[in-house]
Structure 1
Amino acid sequence: MQSDTLLHIANFSTLLVCMVLKFPQIFVLMRAKCSTGISLNSLLLELIGFIVFVTYQMYYDYPPPTYLEYPILIAQG
């Protein structure tokens, strides 16, 4: 039970940090209405990495809380 609680805290803290890091970038891009300065290659590499990780986790039946933040990161990307 203790490790379960620790895992949920770690997952939610990771999700919170990801939101803190990504949301300001998203808001600046929406306000500017321009994507100048964003590297398409780095964005695609990040998204492919997230998708591969989530696919691996799902294929080997890991519990969803261990990879729950990654679909959200993919959507943010």
Structure 2
Amino acid sequence: MHSGNLLWKVDKNGQVQDDLEAIVDWQIVHEGSQMADLARFLVHTADGKIRREAENFIFDYYRECLIDEFDGDSSKLPYTVENL
């Protein structure tokens, strides 16, 4: 995951917007570390200050999003926040 895999929305005038349209990443399809993907995303898209701020909440937020994907059933997750 890196900035080259991000497609941004374009308005009716052809101007690139701040909203993400899609993520395209098919170069090396494999099951890997979600945290490696998250770290790579932050390194390529945010400055040091933002990355340090994200470290304070990103792991909890990521886990909460996964729980939502499993309809609120945290027992389906294969790891804890500490594992992340």
Q: Could you state the TM-score of these two structures normalised by the residue count of structure 1?
A: 0.28
Determine which structure has the larger helix proportion and give its number: 1
Taking CA–CA contacts closer than 8 Å with sequence separation of 6 or more, which of the two structures ends up with the larger relative contact order? 1
More strand by share: 2
